[in-house]
Amino acid sequence: MWGHWFLTAKITTYEVSQELYVTDKENFVTQFPQGAGASRVQTIRNRLIIAQFPQKALDNIHTGQRALIRLDGPGKQTIQATVVKLEKASVELQAKINATVPNPFQEGDGGEVKIEVEHVTPAVLMLRASGLLTETPPLSSSRRY
């Protein structure tokens, strides 16, 4: 049983931003949510977020990866986002939230971003720590199962 866990359990590793900036770039999209049928329309708020990362971290970040945004301020909300563009020292992310809930974003707000960069097993972590495994292929994009 432990052997199975050691070889198959997935541990997510993240790159964490040094700085986050909430822009004023926002748009709304009306769509039919999956599984809700044609009788229910949902309006989604898309907000552009910019996060600063060290160069070493940018080497592990690619468009399409999932991220978690943790906003400073009251409530310290955590919001899911997706990497949409890479710049020299920053990453642009798009956060999608239901437009019927209160807007958690205020232009200029700060916080941090954690971007999923890799899923590894405990065995891979042990091999890396021992120096027996130095490279593994990068995670190209996250998928939900």
**How many Å apart are CA 33 and CA 55, to the nearest integer?**
37
CB 32 within 8 A of CB 38: yes
pLDDT level of residue 145 (50, 70, 90 thresholds): very low
Reported as a single tens digit per residue, the pLDDT across 86-105 is: 988 899 999 988 888 888 88
CATH top-level class for 2-30+43-130? mainly beta
**How many Å apart are CA 62 and CA 53, to the nearest integer?**
13
Give percent above pLDDT 90 in the chain: 31
The two most distant CA atoms of the chain are separated, in Å, by 57
What is the DSSP pairing of strand 19-31 with strand 90-98?
unpaired
Query: Is the predicted pLDDT of residue 13 greater than 60, yes or no?
Result: yes
Which tokens in the block code for residue 126?
């042990």
* pTM reported for the whole predicted model: 0.73
Radius of gyration over every alpha carbon of the chain, rounded to an integer in angstroms: 18
Q: Using alpha carbons, list the distances in angstroms from residue 100 to 10, 30, 68, 84, 103.
A: 35, 12, 21, 24, 8
Where are the domains positioned within the chain? 2-30+43-130
Looking at residue 72, its pLDDT comes to 83
Tell me the average pLDDT across 38-52. 82
Distance of alpha carbon 144 from the chain centroid: 12
**How many Å apart are CA 123 and CA 127, to the nearest integer?**
6
